[in-house]
Amino acid sequence: MANEMTREGYQRLMTELEHLRTVGRDEIASRIREARSFGDLSENAEYDEAMNAQAIMEARISKLEAETANATIIDESDISTEIIKTGVKVTLKDIEYDEKIEYQILGKSQADPDKGIISDSSPVGMALLNKKIGDTVTVELPNGATVRFEILDIAK
């Protein structure tokens, strides 16, 4: 499945990936060399810590490589405000609490619910896709709760 993202989001991931491949790997290699100089590796906490940091960084590099390899850049000029698609901003009304909520719907690698950015593969994101202003959607959340939203606006 393609990972849809904005050009800015793609560039941010590529910048992080390039930094990890160059500066990050150099820093870890330096830490490992320094830790090795302390002697016996079997009881060398600095060496174990550096190796663990290397594994974490390499896992992040692999994840970024997969996300960028499968990326589809959203052309913001092609975004329509007729129906909800990845890339739009939506204003919803939580019917139960009579509250307005705003979300931007993007691919999973750019999701940041604390900033109002939800994934198109999240329960709310999937429920909203292809809906129009005035539609009401019911979403079953992972915790078993159900929420109902009325779509008030769709914007770029």
- CATH 3.10.50.30 in the chain: give the residue spans: 76-155
Interior CA angle at 129 toward 75 and 7, to 5°? 20
pTM above 0.85, yes or no: no
- The reported pLDDT for the residue numbered 1 is 53
Q: What is the pLDDT of residue 70?
A: 86
- The reported pLDDT for the residue numbered 62 is 97
- Per-residue pLDDT of the chain (156 residues), as tens digits, is 567 888 988 999 999 999 999 999 999 999 999 988 877 777 788 899 999 999 999 999 999 999 999 898 988 788 889 999 999 999 999 999 999 999 999 988 889 999 999 999 999 999 999 999 999 999 998 899 999 999 999 998
Q: Which helix (H) or strand (E) holds 82?
A: none
CATH for the 3-73 domain, from 3.40.50.410, 1.10.287.180, 1.10.10.60, 1.10.8.60: 1.10.287.180
Where in the chain is CATH 1.10.287.180?
A: 3-73
Domain 76-155 sits in CATH 3.40.50.300 = no
pLDDT attached to residue 52:
96
> Nearest Cα to 67, choosing from 22, 4, 19?
4
Sheet holding 146-155, edge to edge: 117-119, 99-106, 89-94, 146-155, 136-140
Which backbone phi and psi does 91 adopt, to 5 degrees?
-110, 125
